[in-house]
């Protein structure tokens, strides 16, 4: 089959592209490269079944030839990025989703929207099932991402109901792994980079807030299964194993062999206190559950960061 992947040069988009190529399909990648990186796709430079178009999904999209499926992943996705690019984030969620849905309608293609656990905001229900409608500020600094994704879900369902477009919606929880940017501001990459540099690990608030971390290969497996399933309503895909931020800091220090201290700072506005997916639907409808433990995934991610130019590798024994 022939697929379009928007945001293909990003952390998640590049891994999904690899999976599609590995399944024998042809992929047309689309990215404006404001947060994506060509290096993430450099290994596909001689791959005849892949091509990257540098363009903005919120502008008019023209694709020659037919498409069987569209994966709409394009958007700044970390707080550092969507606070730096607030308008671009809203445009990707609103205009970008509108454009890709229009393309799917014209091509008769199936479309999968990458939504987010951020649609639940600072949740009052824990863990979060898909039926929970969220506790989201529409005017806070994080709203540019939260509301962009909530609108994206709404217009995706509208196109499905009004035009019969074959759609899927995945709500992605915290994901980590190789190809994260060192400066993307996500807690896993922040901690690993700080530990490798021997500087204090920055903890916002008292570190008791919790997250659930899903390794990227597990997430891609869930996305691929959802694309091939007959489920039109949103589906949570994430790891239900919950850790406090202080727990994560301890695991990163162990994985890197670092003796960096911890440093606390004020909690950002609207930062969620808890976040853990209820994956009952994914388990029942997709036969999916995560397989990579956080300790194993962190080790793989640390090895990736250690090999990056400009980041000091640490002389240490690899933990068993």
Positions marked catalytic: 145
Beta strands at 210-212 and 242-244: parallel, antiparallel or unpaired: antiparallel
- Longest C-alpha distance within the chain, in Å? 59
Rounded CA Rg of the chain: 19
Phi then psi for residue 128, to 5 deg, are -100, 115
Closest to 165 (Cα-Cα) out of 92, 106, 233, 222: 106
Q: Report how far residue 128's alpha carbon sits from residue 130's, in angstroms, rounded to the nearest whole number.
A: 7
b/e map of 51-72 (b: 16 or more CB within 10 Å)?
A: ebeeebbbeebebeeebebbbb
Q: Is residue 32 a contact partner of residue 100, using CB atoms and an 8 Å limit? A: no
Torsion of CA 183, 188, 190, 192, to 10 degrees: -110
Report the side by side order of strands in the sheet with 69-72. Answer: 50-54, 26-31, 2-6, 69-72, 110-116, 167-172, 235-237
Structure tokens belonging to residue 123: 């949740």
Give me the phi and psi of 4, to 5 degrees please.
-110, 130
């Amino acid at each position: 089959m022939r697929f379009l992947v928007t945001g293909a040069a990003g952390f998640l988009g590049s891994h999904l592209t690899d999976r599609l190529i590995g399944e024998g399909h042809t992929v047309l990648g689309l990215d404006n490269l404001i947060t994506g990186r060509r290096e993430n796709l450099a290994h596909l430079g001689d791959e005849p079944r892949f091509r990257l178009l540098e363009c903005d999904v919120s502008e008019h999209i023209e694709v020659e030839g037919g498409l069987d499926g569209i994966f709409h992943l394009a958007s700044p996705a970390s707080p550092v990025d969507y606070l730096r690019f607030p308008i671009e984030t809203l445009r990707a969620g609103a205009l970008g989703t509108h454009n890709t849905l229009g393309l799917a309608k014209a091509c008769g293609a199936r479309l999968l929207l990458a939504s987010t656990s951020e649609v639940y905001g600072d949740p009052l229900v824990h863990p979060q099932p898909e039926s929970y409608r969220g506790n989201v500020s529409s005017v806070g600094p994080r709203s540019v991402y939260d509301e962009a994704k909530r609108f994206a879900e709404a217009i995706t369902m509208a196109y499905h109901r009004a035009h019969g477009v074959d759609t899927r919606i995945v709500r992605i929880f915290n994901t980590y792994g190789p190809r994260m940017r060192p400066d993307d501001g996500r807690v896993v990459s922040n901690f690993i980079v700080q530990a490798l540099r021997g500087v204090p690990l920055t903890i916002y608030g008292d570190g008791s807030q919790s997250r659930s971390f899903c390794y990227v290969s597990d997430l891609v497996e869930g996305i691929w299964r959802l694309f091939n399933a007959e489920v039109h309503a949103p589906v949570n895909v994430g790891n239900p194993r919950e850790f406090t931020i202080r727990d994560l800091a301890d695991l990163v220090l162990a994985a890197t062999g670092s003796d960096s201290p911890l440093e606390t700072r004020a909690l950002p506005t609207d930062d969620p206190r808890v976040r853990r997916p209820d994956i009952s639907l994914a388990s029942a409808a997709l036969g999916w559950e995560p397989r990579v433990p956080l300790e194993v995934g962190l080790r793989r991610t640390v090895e990736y960061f250690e090999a990056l130019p400009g980041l000091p590798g640490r002389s240490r024994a690899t933990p068993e």
